[in-house]
Each structure stands twice: as structure tokens, then as C-alpha cells.
Structure 1
Amino acid sequence: MARTGFCDPKPLLDLHNKVSICSEGLNPALIWIFSQDNAKFTREVFSLSEGPTFHNKTSKRQVENNLLAYSHASLSSFPLCVADGCMEKPVLLHPPGLQGLHSLQVLMPSLLRHEVEMALEKLDLIWDRAYAWDMFLDMMRTQMQNSFPNTDLPQDFTDATRAVLVNWLIQVHVSAETLYLAIHLLNRSLCQIKVYTANLQLLGMVCLFLAAKKEECLLPEVSGLCYLMDHTYTKHQLLRMERKVLCGLKFDLSYCPPLHFLIVFASVARCSAKVVWMARYLLELSLLEGQCVVFQPVQLAGAALCLARQVLEELGGPEGEAAWCLASSLHVGSETVLLRIMHILANAAANAHTRETCATFIKFSSPETMHVSRHPGLKNASGLVGICT
């Protein structure tokens, strides 16, 4: 298409200084569903008795002991929250099926909030921990504002055409956050702005330029952007398209990328560095799949992390199982949605090395990313689907 590499990509985020343990999938007995109306979580039963399971070999007694030990270890290091001179009253919850066990005095709401706050603080996503939970709720709320009702593309556009453009953007992007925002703006622009096929590359570059303005400290020159497109378009055309996109989107560039949810979930779940890289690889593959547009960022992040753990088959101790159970409670959506996304990602990963749009495969085959795209467990799509179900 055109030249790539308008600047050296920033190093991918290393979430952990040391490798932590990871566990097998653990079916949570309950999940917390985010309510857009009142901006808070409500408890809902999440039963897997009628659907596929994720190799849960943990007994109820083990779940009880793991959660109890994990909650004691996590909560012993921080005091109860005090606001306006009043001490927050702990809420005792018993997962369904374990109500009669008196020893299961788990402070799930406080523990969940504490782990999310610790994750945001550890990942330098916040400056003041006092606002961490409110920021997380805002992350959950903003992802629903610009959802897509379907995967339909404008006339004369196909999923293959879109994948070629996204693959090119992956090669020339600056940071991961800029890439995810650029693809999101591209998806919205294709739905709201009339663009001719001849100007599709120009639209993609404008979306990348707008994303860089929002996420980067140093911006590329407009002349440099035209150079990347082999001077197919002029500066005037680029700036005119920028105005058209901004007006079409009503200057709304807000977006919480699935990458942010992924790193928060991985931190709460105590995932190893290799699981995180594998999940990031699967998540970036979703950008090339037009059918993933309709899913919420939190759903994509949860599915990518779950599939990564299954592919690598990393076992963990009781603490790891309890941590994954807690992280799984943050997933929003049904098990059917989760499995559908995992199937899409599994097929994308199995065919990534044979496609022309293989920029993501090459990117995650380097030593810095622990060669996750070349993992032998990704080559058999039917095997991955079997793991999921």
C-alpha cells in the first residue's frame, strides 16, 4: 500500500516485573453486572449448568477455602474505607450453592473494589487512588455510548477491504492506545460519513491522526502523513477530511479501549506475563475481524484473556484460582457471547500466519512479545474451539 513506520513503535506495555502464577479456568458462582442506568454493579447468578464449561475441576470446598484465604490475604493489607467520618459497612455475600457454609465470610464488594483500585494504581492509570473506583465505573459507562448495532458496512466496502486498511494502520501506528482509538474512529466514520472507496486510505490516516492528537505527546507532521501515503493525497485533502470526520462524529473522540480492561483484568487475576502477551495478541487480532465490532470492549478483553489462559494451559495454586474467579466476576455479558468471541479469536489466530493481513502476527512473533503468535497451540482452530467448549 504505502510506506510504513512513521516513527519507531513504543515498547509494548510490560505489566509485570516478575512472572506470577496463573490458574485453570474457574467458573464464578456469581457475576457483577454493570447497570448503565444507576452506574453500579448488581449481583446476578451465573449458572453454567445448561451450557459449556471451562474445565472447572475445583470442588465447592476448595472454592470456599481459596476465596477465604485470598480475601484474608488481600484485605489484611488495607483498612476499611472511611468517607465523611463514617466507616463503610462490609457486605457479606455467599455465592449460590454455598450459602450454608458459615466460614465463607467473604467481603466480595470491598475485595473487588480494592483489587480494581490496586490494579489501576499499579498500572499508572490513575494519579489519585481515591477516584479509582469512580474512574472504573466511568470506563464501564463510556464503552456503551458508541456501541454498534450491527456489522454492516457501507455499500462498496467489504470486510476484506477494511482488514487491509486496518492491517496497514497496525504497521504505521505509534502506541497501542492510539491504534485502538484510531480503529474505533474508523468504524464510527464508516457508519456515519459518506466516503468513497478511493478515499478509504485517507480516512484511515485521518482517524490515526486524530487518535494521535488525543493520545500522543509528540504529533507527526501533516507532510509526514502524506509521505506515508506516497503523496497520494495532498495536505489540503487530509485537513479537509479531518474536518469532515470531526463534524460527522460531533467532535466526540471519547473511547475506553479493550486494552485498558484487559490489563486491569490481568492484574486482578494475577496472570503471568506470557498470558498477558497472548491475550494482547488475540485482542489485536479482533481489530481485523469486522464481526467483532458489535461487541463491547470489556467483552473482547474478557474473551481474549480467557482464551489465552486456555491456550497456554498454565496452572496455578489456590491463590491463582481465587484471583481468576474474582477477575471473572468483572466480565459483562452472557456465556454465549463470551464463547462466540472466543471462537472468532480462535479461528483468527489459527489462520493469522497464512493471511496477507499478517502485521499483527509478525508484530507478536518478536522476542519482546515472547513469540506468542508462534505458539503451537494456536495452529489448530478446531482444537482451540474444543478447549473453549
Structure 2
Amino acid sequence: MWTNSCVHRERRVFAEGEEVGPGQHYKPAQESRWVRRIPISAEDGIIMDYAPQDESGPSDVYEEEALLKYLNRLPGPPSLRELMPELLRREVEVAISKLGLLYDKTYAWDIFSDMMRSQLLCTLPNADLPKHFSDTTRAILVDWIIQVHEVFQFSEETLYLAVHLLNRALRLIKVSISGLQLLGVVCLFLAAKKEECLLPEVSELCYLMENAYSKKQLLRMERRVLTGLKFDLYHCPPLHFLLISASIARCSDKVVWMARYLLELSLLEGQCVVYLAAQLAGAALRLARSILQEAPSPDGEMAWCIASSIHIGSEAALLSIMQMMAMAAARAHARETRATFIKYSTIQTLHVSMHPALKAATGLLGLSCPQT
């Protein structure tokens, strides 16, 4: 078993206040550490793009019609369906601006449109692993990456990118079982280079692996990974869709933390690599609401209807993801891979991983979601 991942090291993070405009200051917070580029898109009822209504041109008209056709199939009175595109646009702009993704909400819809377009680039065609590797082996490695990620106090985007790079590298690079841990730490190192301001020393990474690999071996593996991935480190983390949807739906803090817990558990599930970021986020948020059973606010149902239009895809796909997440949550406390369970059992995360309803996976889906 890989060790030393629980050894904490002092890492100083400097606070900063950037002037945005007259009398305004940007206040960095954990929730606002966002990637500046993000994406989404798919098939089976999935919207390929969102185009502003004031744009012209054949392609824009086609994309707008595709959006309207999708929204017209949503449940609800005709008056609500007609208002949905404009309501969604306004809510997305407010949510992205409130979450600190950008300074000027003028570009919020463009960013969201890019998310909707490029999501397909971040999925894998199938969940098959190379010979000699199993989902259990992969889960142990991902669990160890989560522990190391916590040691360095990296952003959540770094974790999701690291696991995404690992999923791709496992299928593109020939790696032996003995080199699997080295591959995992290199993927985390590359993700940190893209997302973080402060980076660990190569010697620190070697120390966390009990110096089983030298600095030279680590840097050589880094070159192999970059070459195999063709230097493409782009990723659209489902966490961004979750936070946007939760903001639009006016979800409580506990629902958001529960959804984040379920979403992170999906990193351990090898079958989840074929699903879109919006589908994973939608399933996590929907399951979190079912678990906690919070009474909706007066405008909660309308807000949830708007937020649900982002969770594109078939109902069967969402239910399949929810089943995997529910089963993962039910056994998380007793598994060897418990890093995420421990991470979300603290007071900062409202102890969501210890919620009693999580232990009854079949009961969770029985609350509001039929079995498929």
C-alpha cells in the first residue's frame, strides 16, 4: 500500500486582492478558484450549442432552433417553456458571475456556450482498461491521488484534471503495474502546473512515494505522458456544472456539499468515464436532493426546472449514474479507498459523508427515482 500521503507539510498561500473596478475588489475564496476555460456537448437529446438570440447567420439560427426544440420538450406549461431560453440565459449569467468565474458577466453566456460545445472532448469512448489493470487497482490509485491532493491543499479543479489525465494516459501509454504510482503522481504534477500558483518540488513528490522512484524517472515519465497526450491538458470538470446548476436551483449549502461528495466518489468509479460532465453533475445534484429531502423554497421548483435544463441527456443515463453514485456512497465508509469519505466527514463539509441515509443505497433511489 502506498504510504506517506498523510504527512502534512507547511505550504504558505498568499492572500491577494485585485482591483476590479472603482470601489470593487476581488476576494479569493475556495469556491472561486475556477479554470478560465471550460466546456460541454453530446448526443441523445443533448444540446450541441447555445447561441445568443441577437446573433445572425445560418449556423446561429440552426443552433437556436436546436435549443428551442430541446426546451420545448421539457415538462411544464407552454408559457414556461417559451420563457425557458431567456430565463436560462439570465440565470446562467448571474450564477457564473456570482461564483467568481469572471469579472464581467457580459461574457458569461459565451463561457457557458463553450462549456456546452466542448464537453464531448472530455469523455472517453468506453470504460475498458488495458490488460493487467482492473477497476480496483485504478480506484486504489485514485484514492491515493486524493490523499496527496489534500496534503498539498490543491484546488478541486486540480484533482478532477489529474484523474482525467490519468484516465487518458492509462489508455495511451504502456505502463507496468510497478510504474502505476509514478504515473499517478505525474498526472497530479501536470494538473498542478496548469491550475496552481504554488507547485511542490519534485523531491517532495518522490518523498511521498518513499523515494521508490528518482527525480530523473519522474521527469522522464512526465515527458512520456505529455507526448502521449500530445500536450493536450484541457478538461471540463463536472464540478463547474454542479456549482452553476446549484446556484441556479437555489440549493442549500448542505445539498451542494452532498452533491460535491457524490461527484467526487464518481472519480473512483471506472464506469463513469464515458459520461458527460453535465450528466455527472446533474445526477449528483439530483441524488443529493433526494437524500436530504429538504423542503423547496417558494421559487425553488421554478429554479430547479431551469437548472434541470442543463442536465442534458436521457433519463436512463442519469438514473444509471445515480445508481452508481448511491452504491458508492453506501459502501464508502467500509471500503479500503476511504479518502473521499474522510475528506467530507469534517465540520467544514457539514459531515455529509456520515449522513445516515447514505447507507441504504436501494432506499435512496426508491425515494423518487425508479430502478432501471
TM-score, normalization by structure 2: 0.82
Distance 1:375 1:316 in 2: 20
5 Å-filtered alignment, 1:290-369, equals 290-369=270-349
TM-superposition CA deviations, 1:104-146 (whole Å, max 9, x none): 6953222111110111110111122111111111112222113
CA distance in structure 2 between the partners assigned to 1:95 and 1:292 by the alignment: 25
Contact kept? 2:259, 2:288, Cα under 8 Å: yes
Per the alignment, do residues 32 and 337 of structure 1 end up closer, same or farther by CA in structure 2, a change over 3 Å counting?
closer
Q: Following the alignment from structure 2 to structure 1, what is the Cα–Cα distance between the partners of residues 74 and 204?
A: 57
1:161 to 109, 126, 137: 137
1:108 is matched with 84
Matched-pair contact (CA < 8 Å) for 1:32–1:43: no
Runs (5+) with no aligned partner, structure 1:
16-30, 47-92
**1:185 alignment partner in structure 2:** 165
Select between 252-261 and 142-151 the one with higher mean Cα deviation: 142-151
Does the 8 Å contact 1:261/1:298 carry over to 2?
yes
Deviations 1:319-377 (A, max 9, x none): 01100010001111100000000000000000000100011001100011000000011
Counterparts of 2:325 and 2:233, CA distance in 1: 27
Deviations 1:88-116 (A, max 9, x none): xxxxx7966734x7xx6953222111110
Letter in 2 for 1:210: L
Secondary structure (helix, strand or coil) at the match of 1:153 reads: coil
Aligned partner of 2:258 in structure 1 is: 278
Aligned residue in 1 for 2:48: 35
The offset of 1:386, in angstroms, is 1.3
Mapped contact 2:122–2:276 kept (Cα < 8 A): no
The answer as to whether partners of 2:47 and 2:70 remain within 8 angstroms in 1 is no
Distance across 2 between alignment mates of 1:334 and 1:128: 34
2:120 to 136, 140, 144: 144
- Structure 1 residues 132 and 155, CA gap change in structure 2 (3 angstroms): same
C-alpha distance in 2 between matches for 1:199 and 1:235: 14
Residue equivalent to 1:210 = 190
Residue of structure 1 equivalent to 2:53: none
Q: Does the alignment pair 1:380 with 2:357?
A: no
What is the distance in 2 between the residues matched to 1:309 and 1:96? 19
Relative to structure 1, the CA distance from residue 306 to residue 95 in structure 2 (aligned partners, 3 Å threshold; closer, same or farther) is: closer
The CA distance in 1 between the partners of 2:175 and 2:30, in whole Å, is: 35
Q: Distance in 2 between matches of 1:272 and 1:254?
A: 31
Distance apart, 1:147 and its partner CA: 1.8
Instruction: Decide whether the 8 Å contact of 2:68 with 2:85 is kept in 1.
Output: no
TM-score, normalised relative to structure 1: 0.79
Q: CA deviation at 1:3?
A: 1.1
Q: Across the two proteins, how many residue pairs are aligned to each other?
A: 325
Q: How far did 1:317 drift? A: 3.1
Moved over 4 A (4+): 5-12, 36-41, 93-97
Cα distance between partner residues in 1 of 2:301 and 2:47: 23
Amino acid paired to 2:108: A
User: Secondary structure in 1 aligned to 2:274?
Assistant: coil
What is the match of residue 4 of structure 2? 3
State the identity %.
61
2:148 pairs with 1:172? yes
2-structure distance, mates of 1:108, 1:164: 43
Higher relative helix content: 2
Matched, 1:125 2:101: yes
- Secondary structure at the aligned position of 1:42 is classed as helix
* Counterpart residue identity of residue 2, structure 1: T
Q: CA deviation at 1:229?
A: 0.7
Q: Deviations over 1:5-39 (max 9, x none)?
A: 56579999458xxxxxxxxxxxxxxx984216976
Distance change in 2, residues 1:175/1:145 (3 Å): same
Q: Match for residue 263 of structure 1?
A: 243
Q: Which amino acid aligns with 1:265?
A: S
Cα 1:12–1:180 change in 2 (3 A) is farther
